[in-house]
Amino acid sequence: MRGGTIMDATLIAASPSTKNRSGRRDPEMSQTKKGNQWYFGMKAHIGVDAKSGLAHTVKTTTAKVHDARMTDDLTREDDRVIFGDKGYVSDKRKRAARGSDILWAVQ
């Protein structure tokens, strides 16, 4: 029996070095700023079942992809409550949830 999803992302660091044969950084990686620190690499976006604690969805993107762009990929059609930080919910999504039976629990 499912009822909700907990979602978050983590940065996966990669070497920003250009000291390789091609003299370039990996094109599948990008940089992003978290707080006052810059990171180069990818992000793992993870959706976890709120009841069992088991991961049901894992998506990887370049580091510069905003968390809110991954919300639809991490939630399931029958979710009734969604737990996530403020990066996952936009004002538009909050307004849409008011008229539905989905509860957003934002940290």
- DSSP code per residue over 38-66: EEEEEEEEEEEETTT--EEEEEEEETTS-
And the tokens for 90? 């936009």
pTM above 0.85? no
Tell me the pLDDT band of 44, cut-offs 50, 70 and 90.
very high
Tell me the pLDDT band of 94, cut-offs 50, 70 and 90.
low
Instruction: Please state the rounded mean pLDDT for residues 23-36.
Output: 84
As a whole number of angstroms, the distance between CA 69 and CA 7 comes to 12
Domain count of the fold of the chain: 1
CATH number at residue 90: 3.30.420
Residue 83 pairs in a beta bridge with: 6, 105
Quick one: DSSP state of residue 81? E
Residue 39 pairs in a beta bridge with: 32
